[in-house]
Copies of this chain bind each other. A is one copy, B any other.
Amino acid sequence: MAAEDSQMTSAVNGPAAAEAEASLRADARENRQKILAAARHLFATKGIDVPMSAIAREAEVGMATLYRRFPTRQDLLIEVFAEQFAQCAAIVEAALADPDAWRGLCTAVEGLAAMQAEDHGFSAAFVGRLPQASMVAEKLRQGVAGFQQLIHRAKNSGRLRRDFTFDDLALVLMANSGVVQNAPNSTAAASKRLVGYLLDAFRTDGTPRRPLPPPVPTDLTRVAFPSTPR
């Protein structure tokens, strides 16, 4: 399983990353993987602003090694999140397979939002500064195309309101990122409830309501961040 790790990454990131990886010395290749693992972990838990030094420490490599492999933070982000962008595309793909167009759309939106909720770093990377480079952009384009088709089908089924736009997906993701960022502990629950409301708003007036996820108690006077106030 761990042995296939590098293969998977290469497959996701395309030939560029693959050949960069292949021409490396054995120890270098291993370090590269350790760096990616550490970055993946830290980006997800602490957000994309973790110091490079923290990543190096967790990966048990020196600063120089880190910067030699990934000259900029962006380069690291691209590699790390490429996999997750691919997963996004897969979610859309799966939704397209659903014979019920409206249900498919709901599944896709819920899936994408859930991904955001699970991974703080990904959320920020996706909604915020986006690396327009490499395979990431390609996977994104792919996902976009799929989602547009999803919208088209759902509208034709008469369940999705006709004034819904593709841009509203971005709206959902931006809104969800706000919830993910600010909901203290119950990130997942809060995100689910938001998405529940939004999907309810997206349906045509006649479409039956879907059950709404439970409310999430939130102390307005202390909607502070989990641990570090940073």
A interface residues with partner B (beta carbon < 8 Å): 127-130, 132, 137, 140-141, 144, 163, 165, 167-171, 174-183, 190, 193-194, 197-198, 200-202, 205, 209, 212, 215-218, 220-225, 229
Q: Check A216–B182 contact: CB distance below 8 A.
A: no
CB within 8 A of A132: which of B130, B175, B222? B222
Identical copies of this chain, number? 2
| Nearest 10 pairs of A and B residues by beta carbon | A178-B178, A175-B175, A165-B215, A170-B218, A201-B201, A197-B201, A200-B201, A174-B182, A177-B178, A174-B179
Across-interface contacts of A225 in B (CB, < 8 A):
128-129
Closest residue of chain B to A147, judged by CB?
B220
From A130, A163, A205, A223, name the one whose CB has the most chain B CB atoms within 10 angstroms. Answer: A223
Closest residue of chain B to A183, judged by CB?
B174
Across-interface contacts of A175 in B (CB, < 8 A):
175-176, 178-179, 194
CB within 8 A of A222: which of B130, B141, B193, B218? B130
CB within 8 A of A215: which of B127, B168, B180, B182? B168
Q: Check B171–A216 contact: CB distance below 8 A.
A: yes
Distance in angstroms from A86 CB to nearest chain B CB is: 16
Given A175-B176, A182-B177: A167 and B127 within 8 A (CB)?
A: no
Given A171-B216, A201-B200, A217-B167: A182 and B223 within 8 A (CB)?
A: no
Distance in angstroms from A116 CB to nearest chain B CB is: 10
